[in-house]
Structure 1
């Protein structure tokens, strides 16, 4: 089940202010000192809140990383669900699959290390988030349309596997270019 917009519990005003302070401080730390600096005690100090306040809302670095990524994830989802083609509706299923994979690679280029923290801090979290399920279901729907009769769910998992942030970061640090990674996906789609 994916959460429905507006179904989130109401947040107290002071809690909302603290959440904003924490997210601003965390984003500033990541921007100035890198993802490695994303330690909850340092975020608390930078936000001017108690460490317990941070831990109650974000029990680990992965949860905080997910929160930092939330706005860009929403934009990415809007682009492939209702944006202009070829990423959004209006192009063929094959064109949309390619556009989705390329857009995901672009996103990893900008947020790969933070996504890696979000995905690896808690075992298997990558596969249990609403975002992954949405990405998977979107690809499975497009694969089923492009190639009726194949196992679309397996193919969707197979296409998403190389988009794991740790894999991408490893490839980039090993000298592989974004262009090469996108070309690799194009070859997989042939």
Structure 2
């Protein structure tokens, strides 16, 4: 069994009514985003549509950006479950190179599919949200150790790979949504470049061709 990608402490028990309200708010927020995009999702509108008091919404999310952060975190937890226990190559059962490639491709798809939500989650005074970076680094470190590439400083290599994956994605998140080329083309190019990087890394210890 694999260890968790991010160290998890014992969470405080959530009251049944608080959990019910949280799930209700997240479900309604998803509906509103799907129907009208992120622009019309406000604290007041979410409270009204969910049939809950404004105070409940403010206590749960804090700010409007907090609504979208919560949506991203909920989706990220699903992604983590797939990494930990889903089918290979993203989940256990494939080799380190295959899992690194799959992780990068799915991560790129995840962020670009959630582009509008991720942009709406940006706090004006805090810049870009860096979701799952700790998870990414820890996962990469574990896979690199299993690969036995003969590289001594795996922590630094995992950090560099995390930056190579996350950096272009975060730059893309900060760009206008109507930027060219379209999102699908950017996703393909980033995913192909990530795969080429991992394939090149795993050929480093191969004997040179004569």
After superposition, residues 24-173 of structure 1 pair within 5 angstroms as 24-118=27-121, 120-121=122-123, 123=126, 126-127=129-130, 131-146=132-147, 147=149, 148-150=151-153, 151-152=156-157, 153-164=159-170, 167-168=172-173, 170=175, 173=179
Contact 1:25 1:43 in 2 (8 A): yes
- CA deviation after TM superposition for structure 1 residue 132, in Å: 2.7
Instruction: State which of 2, 7, 14 in structure 1 corresponds to 2:7.
Output: 2
- Going from structure 1 to structure 2, the CA distance change for 1:142 and 1:117 (only over 3 Å counts) comes to farther
**Bigger RCO of structures 1 and 2 (CA < 8 A, at least 6 apart):** 2
TM-score using structure 2 length: 0.73
- Segments of 5+ residues of structure 1 without an aligned counterpart are none
1:33, distance to aligned residue in structure 2 (A): 0.7
Larger fraction in helix: 1
Secondary structure at the counterpart of residue 67 of structure 1: helix
Query: What RMSD over aligned residues (CA atoms) do the two structures have, in Å?
Result: 2.7
Per-residue CA distance 1:163-190 (angstroms, 9 max, x = gap): 32x6157488321413222122233333
Aligned residues: 184
Partner of 2:204: none
Runs of 4+ in 1 over 6 A off after TM superposition: none
Confirm or deny: 8 A CA contact 1:87 1:96 kept in the other structure. yes
CA distance in 2, matches of 1:125, 1:55: 22
Task: Please list the CA deviations of residues 108-142 of structure 1 after superposition, one character each: whole Å capped at 9, or x if unmatched.
Answer: 23222213333x22626734x6x331122112332
Whether 2:190 is the aligned partner of 1:181: answer yes
